[in-house]
A and B are shown apart, each in its own frame.
Chain A
Amino acid sequence: MGSMFRSEEVALVQLFLPTAAAYPCVSQLGELGLVEFRDLNASVSAFQRRFVLDVRRCEELEKTFTFLQEEVRRAGLALPPPEGVLPAPPPRNLLRIQEETDRLAQELRDVRGNQQALRAQLHELQLHAAVLGQGHGPPVAATYTDGPSETSPLLQSLGDPHQDLRVNFVAGAVEPHKAAALERLLWRACRGFLIASFREAERPLEDPVTGEPATWMTFLISYWGEQIGQKIRKITDCFHCHVFPFPEQDDARRGVLQQLQQQSLELQEVLGETERFLSQVLGRVQRLLPPWQVQIRKMKAVYLALNQCSVSATHKCLIAEAWCATRDLPTLQQALQESSSEAGVSAVVHRIPCRDMPPTLIRTTRFTASFQGIVDAYGVGRYQEVNPAPYTIITFPFLFAVMFGDVGHGLLMFLFALAMVLAEDRPGVKMAQNEIWRTFFGGRYLLLLMGLFSIYTGFIYNECFSRATVIFPSGWSVAAMANQSGWSDTFLAEHPLLALDPNVTGVFLGPYPFGIDPVWSLAVNHLSFLNSFKMKMSVILGVTHMAFGVVLGVFNHVHFGQRHRLLLETLPELVFLLGLFGYLVFLVVYKWLRVSVAGAASAPSILIHFINMFLFSRSPTNRLLFPGQEVVQATLVVLALATVPVLLLGTPLFLRWQHRRRRRRHAGPQPVEDEDKTGLLDSPDAPAPGWGSDEEKAGCSGDQGEAKFVLSEVFMHQAIHTIEFCLGCISNTASYLRLWALSLAHAQLSEVLWAMVMRVGLRLGREMGAVAVVLVPVFAAFAVLTVAILLVMEGLSAFLHALRLHWVEFQNKFYSGTGYKLTPFTFTVEDE
């Protein structure tokens, strides 16, 4: 858990990998996922790197894999996910895999080609059959009906002497969408010299390539003359028509047709055989392909990682630079030794100093992951910055619950989250692909806590589906009031509203033990009572939350060795915040404790006091809360205003002074005394426990000292910070009032839902006498609306506002979030 508070110490290490052992080493590192490689060849383009040939071979293989996968998919089969642990194969195995893959692909291509050819043949036969089948009657008849005036005189009167003028036929089939264009073109190109008849084939045929059924158009063209015939043939060619010989005699046609059917039967048999063989090959692919795919992908990743290494001067080893958590260094060392033991020369890890900011590494568990996610969505923390996530675990669900306070709704949410938590290890739940579901599932622990806290605040607000529950006896007694003031029946009949006066003895027995007294739910001034309570509560929570944020900044300053900021920033900030708004909180609490029912009529107004505090005035009608109040108030305002210049000028002036002093010392004769420098140089050999902070300090002051200290920039930065903080204090405090607004909205919505749906239903049921029958649909509506509006919609809105309160109001007090994540080189994604 210690690592939750700030990110882990991360060191830059240099790995000396003997050339022979580099591959197994990196492959092992990929399995462990410990280190993030730095690209040492950024200036070298992709194709000039060392292992580019190996990467290319992997890519070639992947190309073949894609082909195989595509074939399997086309056959309507699925690839099973690979089983077991599959390490990256040793490089020599690549050749074997490649050979086998190529053989498999070749085999598959051959079989597929055969099948394709057979199918095309079958298709051709079927088309031929279709053309001839339709040629029996109708087209021939059509020629007679279409052009008797042209054909009959030509053939009959000039029959014998003009043998060459006899009618010729071209028959064939064309794809349906081209038929119209073909017909028009034929007509235009050889108008009058032909008669064409188009009709649809009787049944759709499967396309040999795509396998989709299509109804082809068959056509029969009768024409005169050889010239036209050539033209027609050219045109049919260019439309990719299938043209078949067309015997003119019916008998001959029938004979051919029978022959065709015979052929197609035989062909189908052969095709069946081929398909059986194909499915065998595909089965083999299905078995072999998934493990290979994983292995080759790992192999490629390893080579890509190796491409980021530079080569040592002697070419004996590869040098890699990597970020690695200090905690993992022994594991890293061991892993490298184990995997390089075969090669004889062992790989060496050694730590090197670095000026760049190391990446941020925060290890999370399944419980903390969602909370860390909330923080990371705003920005990944700087290296070793205070991590707001552990506090978010409590404050986030709590602030959410303040806005979502309802026992019933909270319970539903809690149970939903609990179900997810209990079922989290089931593979079906884990593998679900639905994006919305995954979002909810990812935040299940967050939901669990949010539900739990909502139940708690629900009890405080005393609301369960907007109804109050009486757990303890109420602190108010109506009977006492009635007895004391002698309410008669007529008085009761005349006055629909009756007031309970707490000053009358026996009416107010004392505060309700826990939460809001249920009697308030009957009162008409229920809302104004709750509003006053919730508003004050919001301000108190807000000021506390913000002050906590400012205090967290202390840990940052101490850790990064910027102690001046404690005095020059944190202290003035705290004074400003607590002096003004802390005092407001004090007033609220003081008034709650000191002003009793007896003095309620002349109770002082905090609002007027607070306004007067800034105006340095007093209003005679507003009683003082405590003696000496005006002096205290004046002091606080002056103090708060006095912190502003400190905040504005303190840090820049201090930095300038520090800078001048250092420069003077640099100019002097003793440069050895530069502690930062020596610390930096010593650190690689003996990684002291405080290395990280030392490094940070050295980096910081070094940057400011050497990289030109620009006063105006520091001033600008500080001025922005000051303005943001001072104005922010006011606007952020106001912003916390959203707690009040949202909880009010939630309570009112559920109240409305109850009154408009459930209560109407209950009354209706009583009037009609059949309670159960009416209540079924009414309750269904109530349940659906509760879940849809109150749980989902209101829940999302409360979540959003809680998120905003954390990101904007809380985290801007101390969290910069300008770091970057440690993304270790790992195969885990490849495994999935």
Chain B
Amino acid sequence: MLESAELYFNVDHGYLEGLVRGCKASLLTQQDYVNLVQCETLEDLKIHLQTTDYGNFLANETNPLTVSKIDTEMRKKLCREFEYFRNHSLDPLSTFFTYMTCSYMIDNVILLMNGALQKKSVKEILVKCHPLGRFTEMEAVNIAETPSDLFSAVLVETPLAPFFQDCMSENTLDELNIEILRNKLYKSYLEAFYKFCKNHGDVTAEIMCPILEFEADRRAFTITLNSFGTELSKGDRETLYPTCGKLYPEGLRLLAQAEDFEQMKMVADHYGVYKPLFEAVGDGSGGKSLEDVFYEHEVKMNVLAFSRQFHYGVFYAYTKLKEQEMRNIVWIAECISQRHRTKINSYIPIL
């Protein structure tokens, strides 16, 4: 493939890339985190956030301030930025954005279906849905009884439709089936996204493929970890693993056979990337959880994405970094509001 991205990239996407880099510069710095951690109340937190790029995004919130209000407002802000990017994007990039929203859409669909299963009202669940994954037919999800029903009635027009090819079945949707459906959807989503980036070539492929490979492997590990002690059979488990990661194919086969955390760790030891990650995991009492270690690695990869130019990965990386930042702020806010300050420092620093 010709290295033509440098020549033409800025014509179509230069403005947005400049914008996203500017946005990235507005991420909270280490000093900001140090100040945030010192806050005594949520009001202090709000005042401090006002001095950052968040500005007075909480200005119109009525008292008392709660963590969920902060979270909602931050999400809205991210969503506004994302919508702006998306509305101004041209074709390959807009498809890329659509792929990015798909993961949130999957989460929302699953959330709604779980809600319907537990007989909760749709409105209650809608509040919890991620604004990036909103779509019109979303609320109609609960009319479906089986996955194929869901596909043919509700989701056939959404970008999620192509991911359904593997999960058409007439099983009723109970909790386990929903979870399987989520993982299958996610698997085909990741594979499709990976294929899209690979086909796009250029720097985008060079940046995005490692990130998505990691994402796939992380899912594989998480699925394995969560399936210990459930009725999911090993064969079924293997069908859920996304096949676009570094673990494919041998690692996944080994992982399918794993029966506890130690065996999983042995699988990871075969891979130079994952070995140090598993070694960093602390045991029960102190140290980091596997989740945190993965988050840290993800942050590192996303930050590195900004060191190259002329690719779409920056948009993905920015969104993920912003999400991480939001998780951090929510964590700190939770610690402050629950007066549980011992663990307040275990947020994931964004370098």
Chain A interface (Cβ < 8 Å from any Cβ of B): 45-47, 52, 56, 63, 66, 178, 181, 184-185, 188-189, 231, 234-235, 237-239
CB distance from A305 to the nearest CB of B (A): 18
Please determine whether A47 and B142 come into contact, CB atoms closer than 8 angstroms.
Answer: no
With A234-B142, A234-B143, A238-B122: A185-B154 Cβ-Cβ less than 8 Å: yes
Residues of chain B within 8 A (CB-CB) of A178 are 136
* Option from B38, B39, B153 in Cβ contact (under 8 Å) with A189: B153
With A46-B48, A46-B51, A181-B136: A231-B143 Cβ-Cβ less than 8 Å: yes
CB distance from B60 to the nearest CB of A (A): 7
**Bound-complex Cα distance A615 to B184 (A):** 89
**Bound-complex Cα distance A47 to B38 (A):** 10
Chain B interface (Cβ < 8 Å from any Cβ of A): 35, 38-39, 43-44, 47-48, 51, 59-60, 122, 136-140, 142-143, 152-154, 156-157
Residue of B nearest to A53 (CB): B43
Please determine whether A185 and B59 come into contact, CB atoms closer than 8 angstroms.
Answer: no
**Bound-complex Cα distance A238 to B39 (A):** 42
Please determine whether A45 and B35 come into contact, CB atoms closer than 8 angstroms.
Answer: yes
**Bound-complex Cα distance A178 to B138 (A):** 13
With A63-B60, A188-B156, A189-B153: A238-B139 Cβ-Cβ less than 8 Å: yes
Please determine whether B38 and A234 come into contact, CB atoms closer than 8 angstroms.
Answer: no
CB distance from B310 to the nearest CB of A (A): 36
**Bound-complex Cα distance A563 to B138 (A):** 82
**Bound-complex Cα distance A402 to B153 (A):** 81
Residues of chain B within 8 A (CB-CB) of A185 are 137, 140, 153-154
* A and B contact pairs by CB, cutoff 8 A, 24 listed: A46-B47, A46-B51, A47-B43, A47-B47, A56-B43, A63-B60, A66-B59, A178-B136, A181-B136, A181-B137, A181-B157, A185-B137, A185-B140, A188-B152, A188-B153, A188-B156, A234-B143, A235-B140, A238-B137, A238-B139, A238-B140, A239-B136, A239-B139, A239-B140
Please determine whether B143 and A56 come into contact, CB atoms closer than 8 angstroms.
Answer: no
CB distance from A710 to the nearest CB of B (A): 32
Please determine whether B44 and A47 come into contact, CB atoms closer than 8 angstroms.
Answer: yes
Residues of chain A within 8 A (CB-CB) of B136 are 178, 181, 239
**Bound-complex Cα distance A259 to B157 (A):** 42
Residues of chain B within 8 A (CB-CB) of A188 are 152-154, 156
**Bound-complex Cα distance A650 to B143 (A):** 92
Residue of B nearest to A240 (CB): B139
Q: Which of B48, B139, B143, B156 has the most CB of A within 10 A?
A: B143
**Bound-complex Cα distance A237 to B142 (A):** 11
**Bound-complex Cα distance A63 to B60 (A):** 7
With A185-B154, A189-B153, A238-B122: A52-B47 Cβ-Cβ less than 8 Å: yes
* Option from A56, A189, A239 in Cβ contact (under 8 Å) with B47: A56
Residue of A nearest to B139 (CB): A238
**Bound-complex Cα distance A203 to B60 (A):** 36
Residues of chain A within 8 A (CB-CB) of B48 are 45-47
**Nearest 10 interchain pairs by C-beta:** A238-B139, A189-B153, A238-B140, A47-B44, A47-B47, A188-B153, A234-B143, A181-B136, A235-B140, A231-B143
Given contacts A45-B38, A188-B153, A238-B137, 19 further A-B contacts (CB under 8 A): A45-B35, A46-B47, A47-B39, A52-B47, A56-B43, A63-B60, A181-B136, A181-B137, A185-B137, A188-B152, A188-B154, A189-B140, A189-B143, A189-B153, A189-B154, A234-B143, A237-B139, A238-B122, A239-B140
**Bound-complex Cα distance A317 to B80 (A):** 48
Residue of B nearest to A235 (CB): B140
Residue of A nearest to B50 (CB): A46
Please determine whether B157 and A184 come into contact, CB atoms closer than 8 angstroms.
Answer: yes
Residues of chain B within 8 A (CB-CB) of A238 are 122, 137-140
Residue of B nearest to A232 (CB): B143
Residue of B nearest to A236 (CB): B140
CB distance from B171 to the nearest CB of A (A): 19
Residues of chain B within 8 A (CB-CB) of A237 are 122, 139
**Bound-complex Cα distance A189 to B150 (A):** 9
**Bound-complex Cα distance A280 to B118 (A):** 50
**Bound-complex Cα distance A47 to B59 (A):** 16
Residues of chain B within 8 A (CB-CB) of A52 are 47
CB distance from A3 to the nearest CB of B (A): 37
CB distance from B184 to the nearest CB of A (A): 22
CB distance from A191 to the nearest CB of B (A): 9
Residues of chain A within 8 A (CB-CB) of B47 are 46-47, 52, 56
Residues of chain B within 8 A (CB-CB) of A231 are 143
Residues of chain A within 8 A (CB-CB) of B122 are 237-238
**Bound-complex Cα distance A722 to B205 (A):** 55
Please determine whether A234 and B152 come into contact, CB atoms closer than 8 angstroms.
Answer: no
**Bound-complex Cα distance A185 to B142 (A):** 13
Residues of chain A within 8 A (CB-CB) of B43 are 47, 56
With A46-B48, A46-B51: A234-B140 Cβ-Cβ less than 8 Å: yes
**Bound-complex Cα distance A178 to B38 (A):** 48
Residue of B nearest to A70 (CB): B60
Residues of chain B within 8 A (CB-CB) of A46 are 47-48, 51
